[in-house]
Structures are given as structure tokens and as C-alpha cells.
């Protein structure tokens, strides 16, 4: 078996969700690299390896080469910030943050890991009319990697939320490979996939056992029962030696509690009588009504607040979830700790920073239990971990092995452009090498 487990680098490592997942699968990353100081501290508190507080737009790849002492690492993992690509943002293909994607690529080119996993939001697929992702693929091929791209809903790996992400996985071993097998069905009211597989844990299963929230952030709360209530609760309690829970607080104002009490599961702000709308929601709800754009093309009003279904998987946890997602049974938003659990961070995870910073760290993270599935999968595929690479089909030169842009039967016009560009790689794969 491969003895060294620390030759993984995590770029744009955030609070360490990706790294923590890898560590729990037996591959503890050598270090992280992250521009946000609080996220760096959260990383170090929990992953237990150093996190370099650097701006990756300005850090030369040689910096990491030196850290590795010239060794070629097993893997580089990470997801550059994706606000420029996010469907929640304005999707500008010239957004300077998008160049961070190519900083990631330059580090991979210089350091030559055996594998890389690049994670991003689904907006990447259509950014710049498909040019962003196809130029990224072209560059990965040029530097010697076989790559596969898939849009994955991480609920299939047991995360208790529907969370669509684009993953590009590559290796420079000339090995053809597939993504890890799906393990769960899911249904969030918005996204669903039913198969013969069991359902991922529901929202209420994920947060059960946490007990009553406190009123102040500084107060710790206690579990409802001495023994875990279900398997997910047990997983989340593991290593929480003190048995106390941080970040499980709520300071809902009485007038907001009334507003929340009127919402049924699945309902949003627009289902409330108008007098209960937030002022900001009212402004957004009526914007652009007079500009002549037909309603169906305006994207509609934002939902503001939404009461989640307890028996389904949660909607995607973002940095705004602790303000916008209302508990299925109680008249309050989800607490930060509940959001952390839905992202599969264990209760012992010690976040650094103020509430808004911590929530941003949680919302941006790769859920550790999904990360662990990918870590185990790479170990299984790769010969250095004792498995037999010869069982994988070898390809003679770097190429796009395949891609999956959607599970839907139809494709949007934007996605058709991306499909067209990527198909060209499959048809003329040798030209790009």
C-alpha cells in the first residue's frame, strides 16, 4: 500500500470541507491555500494541516512546488470561487474572478499531480456560451490530462440536500475511468431523482438530535437525547467529545415569527399576504415590470424566505440559508449548525469568524461526505494505493473521456452550445494534443 497520505494539495480550500472529507477517507492533505483569513483558521482548526493565507491570483505555482519538495503529488483538489459563473450572480464571462480558474490550471500544469478534481457551480457549463468550460478542457488536454466532466447532484452521495455541482476529474496516467457510482435517490421539491436506491437522509433526519437552539451565539446547546436518534445523527456526533453544540442559536424577532408561522412547507414570501412582505422583497418583486420585458423572461421575483420540507432533502445550502430557509416545524430560520449538518460538517467542526463569515464558509464548501466518496474512489482507481491500474482501459493520448451536462431529456439553448463545443473534442480528439 501507498504509505504517504499527505501528497494532496487543496486550492481555494475555504473552511476545509473538501480536505476534511479526504482526510476522513485516509488521505490528509499536505496543506490548503485560501485568501480568506477566517476560512484559513477554520481549516487549520479542523483539518489539522497548515492552510496558507494567500491570494492564488498572485501566488506563483513555484510556491507550491517548493512546499512539495519537488514531489509530484497524488492529487490537487479544489474549486475556484464561482461568483462569476453562479446562476445567482450576474454571469459575466469577463468577471476577473473567472481568471482564478486558469490560476488553478497553471498550478496543475506546473506541479503535475497524478489526479485533480476541479469543483464548480453549474453556471460554469454555460458561461461565455460554453467557451469557459471548453477552453478549460482544451488546456487540461494540452498539459497531458485525460478528463471527464459531469454535472452531479451531490445528494446521490448521501448529502441531505440537493446540490448540483460541476466536477472535472483528470489524470495523467492515460487511464479511462468513471465517476463513483450513485448511492442514493433524492427529492427536494425542486430537484428529484428516484431509482431503486434508498433516499439520502431527509432534512429532519439530518438535523435531528441537535436539541433546542439557544438565544445567544456564545451559548452552547445540548443534544436532545444521550444516544443518537439515527445513523446520520450518530455520524455528526462522532468526535464531539464535549457533547455540547456551538452555532446552534436563533434570535428571531416576534414579528418575523408571525410571518414564518403563515408559511406552509414549500411556500415562499410571495405566498404571504402583501403586508408581510419584506421591503427589499417588495422592491425586487416589482422591479422591471414596466420595462416591456415579458414576465416569463424576467426570471420572476426572488423567493425571499422559504419553509423547507422536513421529509425531503433540503434545498442547496448557500451563505444566505440561515436567513432565508425556514425550519420545517418551527417558526424560525435554520441555525448555522443545522446548515453545517446539512452540508455534512460534523458537530465538532470549529468555525472561525463572525456569523456571516461562518455561514459563507459553510455555503461555499464541498460537503465532506461527498468529498470522502471521491477520495475513496481515486484511491481505488489509482495504483499507488494498492489497486491495479491495469484494469482501467488505457488511452494513447490525453483526451476528453466523456461528459454529462444534464440528466434532463431536453437541453436549454445555452447548454446546447456547450454540448456542441464539447462534442467536437470527442470527434476530433487527437487534434488538440
**Gap between the Cα atoms of 54 and 36, Å rounded:** 8
Examine residue 37 and state whether it is found in any structural domain, yes or no.
Answer: yes
Nearest to 152 by CA among 255, 79, 244: 79
Specify the DSSP class assigned to residue 407. Answer: S
- Note whether 300 and 417 are same-domain residues: no
The CATH code of the domain that includes 242 is 3.90.120.10
- Note whether 44 and 179 are same-domain residues: yes
- Three-point CA angle 164, 165, 167, nearest 5°: 145
Q: What is the pLDDT of residue 102?
A: 81
Give mean pLDDT, residues 402-429: 87
How many C-beta atoms surround the C-beta of residue 296 within 10 A?
Answer: 7
Examine residue 197 and state whether it is found in any structural domain, yes or no.
Answer: no
In 3-state terms, what secondary structure has residue 364? helix
Task: Look at residues 316, 338, 364 and tell me which one is the last residue of a structural domain.
Answer: 364
Q: Grid coordinates standing for 89?
A: 450572480
* Percent of the residues in the chain that have a pLDDT greater than 70, as a whole number: 87
Active-site residue (options: 51, 82, 146, 352): 82
> pLDDT at residue 89 above 90?
no
Q: Grid coordinates standing for 68?
A: 512539495
Examine residue 193 and state whether it is found in any structural domain, yes or no.
Answer: no
**Gap between the Cα atoms of 30 and 176, Å rounded:** 27
> pLDDT at residue 97 above 50?
no
Q: Helix crossing, 37-47 with 355-364: angle to 10°?
A: 70
Contact 225, 272 (CB under 8 A): no
Say how many domains are in the chain. 2
Q: What is the pLDDT of residue 280?
A: 80
Phi first, then psi, for residue 175 (nearest 5°) are -100, 135
Nearest to 117 by CA among 68, 80, 88: 80
**Gap between the Cα atoms of 326 and 263, Å rounded:** 9
Tens digits of per-residue pLDDT, 308-342? 999 999 999 999 999 999 999 999 999 999 999 99
Q: What is the pLDDT of residue 281?
A: 80
Comparing 264 with 101, the larger pLDDT belongs to 264
- Note whether 184 and 222 are same-domain residues: no
**Gap between the Cα atoms of 193 and 3, Å rounded:** 39
Strands of 79-210, DSSP E: 115-121, 146-153, 164-171, 186-187, 192-193
- Note whether 214 and 306 are same-domain residues: yes
- Note whether 132 and 248 are same-domain residues: no
- The residue range of the domain holding 48 is 8-188+368-432
**Gap between the Cα atoms of 371 and 198, Å rounded:** 20
**Gap between the Cα atoms of 19 and 178, Å rounded:** 22
Contact 272, 263 (CB under 8 A): yes
- Note whether 51 and 126 are same-domain residues: yes
Task: Look at residues 364, 393, 422 and tell me which one is the last residue of a structural domain.
Answer: 364
221-222 and 244-245 strand pairing:
antiparallel
- Note whether 73 and 100 are same-domain residues: yes
> pLDDT at residue 376 above 90?
yes
> pLDDT at residue 349 above 80?
yes
Tens digits of per-residue pLDDT, 30-43? 999 999 999 999 99
Examine residue 2 and state whether it is found in any structural domain, yes or no.
Answer: no
Q: Helix crossing, 131-142 with 413-427: angle to 10°?
A: 20
> pLDDT at residue 432 above 60?
no
Tens digits of per-residue pLDDT, 16-33? 999 999 999 999 999 999
- Note whether 150 and 82 are same-domain residues: yes
Residue 31: active-site member: no
What secondary structure does DSSP assign to 322-339, as a single string?
HHHEEPSSSSSBPPHHHH
In 3-state terms, what secondary structure has residue 314? strand
Task: Look at residues 364, 388, 414 and tell me which one is the last residue of a structural domain.
Answer: 364
Amino acid at each position: 500500500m501507498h504509505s504517504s497520505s499527505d501528497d494532496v494539495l487543496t486550492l481555494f480550500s475555504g473552511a476545509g470541507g473538501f480536505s476534511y472529507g479526504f482526510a476522513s477517507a485516509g488521505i490528509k492533505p499536505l496543506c490548503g491555500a485560501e485568501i480568506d483569513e477566517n476560512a484559513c483558521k477554520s481549516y487549520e482548526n479542523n483539518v489539522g494541516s497548515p492552510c496558507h493565507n494567500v491570494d492564488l491570483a498572485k501566488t506563483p505555482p513555484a510556491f507550491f512546488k517548493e512546499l512539495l519538495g519537488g514531489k509530484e503529488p497524488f492529487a490537487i483538489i479544489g474549486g475556484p470561487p464561482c461568483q462569476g459563473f453562479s446562476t445567482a450572480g450576474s454571469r459575466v464571462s469577463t468577471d476577473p474572478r473567472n481568471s482564478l480558474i486558469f490560476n488553478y490550471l497553471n498550478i496543475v500544469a506546473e506541479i503535475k499531480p497524478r489526479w485533480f478534481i476541479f469543483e464548480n457551480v453549474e453556471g460554469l457549463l454555460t458561461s461565455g456560451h460554453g467557451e469557459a468550460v471548453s477552453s478549460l478542457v482544451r488546456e487540461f488536454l494540452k498539459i497531458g490530462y485525460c478528463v471527464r466532466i459531469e454535472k452531479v447532484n451531490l445528494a446521490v452521495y448521501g448529502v441531505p440536500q440537493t446540490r448540483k455541482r460541476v466536477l472535472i476529474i483528470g489524470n495523467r496516467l492515460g487511464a479511462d475511468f468513471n465517476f463513483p457510482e450513485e448511492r442514493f435517490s433524492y427529492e427536494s421539491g425542486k430537484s428529484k431523482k428516484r431509482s431503486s436506491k434508498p433516499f439520502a437522509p431527509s432534512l429532519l433526519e439530518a438535523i435531528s438530535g441537535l436539541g433546542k437552539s439557544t438565544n445567544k451565539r456564545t451559548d452552547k446547546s445540548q443534544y436532545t437525547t444521550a444516544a443518537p436518534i439515527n445513523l446520520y445523527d450518530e455520524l455528526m456526533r462522532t468526535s464531539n467529545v464535549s457533547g455540547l453544540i456551538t452555532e446552534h442559536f436563533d434570535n428571531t424577532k416576534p414579528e418575523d415569527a408571525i410571518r414564518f408561522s403563515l408559511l406552509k412547507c414549500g411556500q415562499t414570501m410571495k405566498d404571504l399576504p402583501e403586508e408581510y412582505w419584506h421591503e427589499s422583497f417588495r422592491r425586487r418583486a416589482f422591479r422591471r415590470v414596466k420595462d416591456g420585458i415579458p414576465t416569463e423572461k424576467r426570471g420572476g421575483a426572488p423567493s425571499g424566505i422559504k419553509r423547507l420540507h422536513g421529509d425531503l432533502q433540503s434545498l442547496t445550502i448557500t451563505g444566505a440559508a440561515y436567513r432565508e430557509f425556514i425550519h420545517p416545524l418551527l417558526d424560525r430560520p435554520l441555525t448555522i449548525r443545522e446548515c453545517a449538518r446539512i452540508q455534512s460538517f460534523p458537530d465538532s467542526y470549529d468555525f472561525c469568524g463572525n456569523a456571516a463569515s461562518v455561514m459563507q464558509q459553510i455555503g461555499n464548501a464541498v460537503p465532506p461526505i461527498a468529498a470522502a466518496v471521491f477520495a475513496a474512489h481515486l484511491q481505488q482507481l489509482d495504483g499507488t494505493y494498492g489497486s491495479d491500474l491495469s484494469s482501467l482501459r488505457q488511452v494513447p493520448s490525453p483526451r476528453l473521456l466523456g461528459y454529462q451536462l444534464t440528466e434532463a431529456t431536453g437541453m436549454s439553448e445555452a447548454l446546447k452550445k456547450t454540448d456542441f463545443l464539447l462534442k467536437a473534442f470527442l470527434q476530433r480528439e487527437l487534434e488538440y494534443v
